[in-house]
Amino acid sequence: MAQKFLTTLPVFNEVKYVNEVLDLVKQYSPNVLVVDDGSTDGTTELLAKREDVIVIQHKQNSGYGAALNTGFNYAIQQQYDTVVTIDCDGQHEPQRIPEFVDACTAGVDIVSGSRYLKQFHEDTAPPEQRRKINQTVSAEISRRLGITLTDAFCGFKAYSTSGLKKLHLTEKGYAMPLELWVQAAQHELKIIEWPVPLIYLDEERSFGGMLDDATTRLEYYHLVLDRSIAKTKQFA
């Protein structure tokens, strides 16, 4: 039986890319949800003109993790089998959505994109600090949780909603994937990585406030990882 799947995009101030990305996503996914996380740059107005996607608006910017969680909850409530997440900054290739959906079968709970499994001709050089932080955190997650990850932060993923129902995600910001990995390991979800091109279009992209400082961002990631692991031990 074919999977009923939803593609959801967390969006915050993406007026530059949103229509182009959505036009491409619609070619590969009939069901598309955009979570507009309090955009103020005209993105909201562009989305209001589209009748081919579902839009949920956060009145205020709540964070990347909060936007993803809204998408997860919608997919569960609407009884989708699978939810694909893809960022709206033009750095993911929508034509790969069917690959992720097909891979999220046979007991697989999370198909996580990895930009470091293989080389593609589309690859670009990432900002060095971002790559180092990703490698450091991915290695720590693999060591502490007993799962193998090469790319902890890629936003291109597919999830079974049956797996998502087991999680209780509370982190609202960019560190939410760390909490997700901790809980996925706790519940012994089946995780596989899927190769995707390494594409960076905006090297100056902001994480917001103090997190633009690489040292502060890495310290914050460690804090969230420690806190998430402590919570799983508390409720074990």
pLDDT 10s digits, 208-223: 655 667 788 888 899 9
Residue 61, judged by CB atoms within 10 A of its CB (0-12, 13-18, 19+), counts as middle
Instruction: Identify the pLDDT of residue 217.
Output: 84
- Percent of the residues in the chain that have a pLDDT greater than 70, as a whole number: 90
Residues 75, 32, 138, 176, CA torsion sign: negative
Quote the tokens at residue 38.
């309090």
- Strands 32-37, 5-11: pairing is parallel
pLDDT grade, residue 137 (50/70/90)? very high
d(CA 153, CA 149): 10
| CATH fit for domain 5-234, picks 3.90.550.10, 3.10.105.10, 3.40.50.2000, 3.40.1190.10 | 3.90.550.10
Instruction: Identify the pLDDT of residue 126.
Output: 62
Q: Which long-range contacts (CB under 8 A, 24 or more apart) does 168-174 make?
A: 169/65, 169/68, 169/69, 169/72, 171/65, 171/224, 171/228, 172/62, 172/63, 172/64, 172/65, 172/66, 172/69, 173/63, 173/64, 173/65, 173/66, 173/208, 173/211, 174/63, 174/64, 174/65, 174/207, 174/211
Q: Which residue has the higher pLDDT, 1 or 45?
A: 45
pLDDT grade, residue 113 (50/70/90)? very high
Instruction: Identify the pLDDT of residue 208.
Output: 60
Of 21-30, 86-95, 197-206, highest mean pLDDT: 21-30
pLDDT grade, residue 164 (50/70/90)? very high
Task: Tell me what the pLDDT averaged over the chain comes to.
Answer: 89
List the domain boundaries for the chain.
Answer: 5-234
Instruction: Identify the pLDDT of residue 127.
Output: 62
Q: What is the mean pLDDT of residues 143-161?
A: 94
Tally of helices (H runs) and strands (E runs) in the chain: 8, 7
Residues, the chain: 236
Instruction: Identify the pLDDT of residue 103.
Output: 95
